[in-house]
């Protein structure tokens, strides 16, 4: 396990180990299973960053669970642009269904606020948000995820699906940026 990694012009140091990430995801999965028992939720994985979170979490769901994907973007480099772009819309019918959004990280909250509003307008009976990571100090809207793996500081991070301009996603650990290296 690397203590530091270099991606392009930035250095990142080990922040959260894989074992701690998987433990948090297991806890979130148990909470969702409890709350969704007897319901027929549609799980929506938000690409691209959440793919590892989705895989870990969905492996703990019943085999009858339905999963689809959607993609939105608001990031360029290490900063959020604040404008949500829909890259891949949800292609399943959301009317009269509970929806569980599966997001890698809630930072400003603007993307998930947008997606949640769109799903409610589309007729979803309940929209819940599960996030692997939450940066409470970065929120720019009134968004409260229903399921949170871990709360973290307002650092730029990579690993376990999160990237820096396309690199670092495949690390099983999470690394944070080193500002002065």
Which residue is it, tokens 């396309």? Answer: 166
User: What per-residue confidence (pLDDT) applies to 2?
Assistant: 84
User: What per-residue confidence (pLDDT) applies to 85?
Assistant: 83
Cα–Cα distance for residue pair 83/120, rounded to 1 Å: 20
Strand order in the sheet with 157-158: 4-7, 10-16, 174-177, 157-158
* Overall size of the chain counted in residues: 181
Q: Which residue stretches of 67-146 are H helix?
A: 110-121
Pair 11, 4: CB distance under 8 Å? yes
Return the ∠ at Cα 159 (arms to 1 and 78), rounded to 5°: 130
Chain Cα centroid distance, residue 63:
21
For the chain, 181 residues long, give each residue's pLDDT as a single digit of tens: 789 999 999 999 999 999 999 999 999 999 999 999 999 999 999 999 999 999 999 999 999 999 999 998 775 555 555 678 889 989 999 999 999 999 999 998 999 999 999 999 999 999 999 999 999 999 999 999 999 999 999 999 999 999 999 999 999 999 999 976 5
Catalytic machinery residues = 107
Q: Which residue stretches of 11-50 are H helix?
A: 18-36
User: What per-residue confidence (pLDDT) applies to 77?
Assistant: 54
User: What per-residue confidence (pLDDT) applies to 165?
Assistant: 92
Which tokens hold the place of 143? 């968004």
User: What per-residue confidence (pLDDT) applies to 80?
Assistant: 58
User: What per-residue confidence (pLDDT) applies to 142?
Assistant: 93
Cα–Cα distance for residue pair 56/139, rounded to 1 Å: 25
Computed over its alpha carbons, how large is the radius of gyration of the chain?
A: 16
């Amino acid at each position: 396990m690397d203590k530091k990694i270099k991606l392009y012009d930035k250095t990142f140091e080990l922040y959260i180990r894989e074992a701690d990430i998987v433990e948090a995801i297991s806890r979130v999965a148990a909470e969702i299973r409890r709350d969704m028992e007897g319901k027929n939720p549609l799980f929506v994985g938000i690409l691209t960053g959440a793919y590892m979170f989705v895989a870990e979490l969905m492996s703990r769901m019943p085999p009858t669970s339905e999963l689809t994907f959607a993609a939105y973007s608001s990031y360029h480099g290490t900063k959020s642009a604040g404008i949500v772009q829909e890259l891949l819309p949800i292609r399943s019918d959301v009317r009269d269904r509970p929806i569980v959004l599966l997001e890698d990280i809630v930072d400003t909250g603007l993307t998930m606020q947008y997606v949640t509003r769109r799903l409610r307008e589309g007729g979803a009976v309940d929209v819940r948000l599960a996030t692997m990571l939450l940066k409470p100090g970065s929120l720019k809207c009134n968004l409260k995820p229903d399921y949170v793996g871990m709360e973290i500081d307002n650092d730029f991070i990579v690993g376990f699906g999160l990237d820096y301009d396309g690199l670092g996603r495949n690390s099983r650990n999470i690394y944070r940026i080193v500002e002065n290296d």
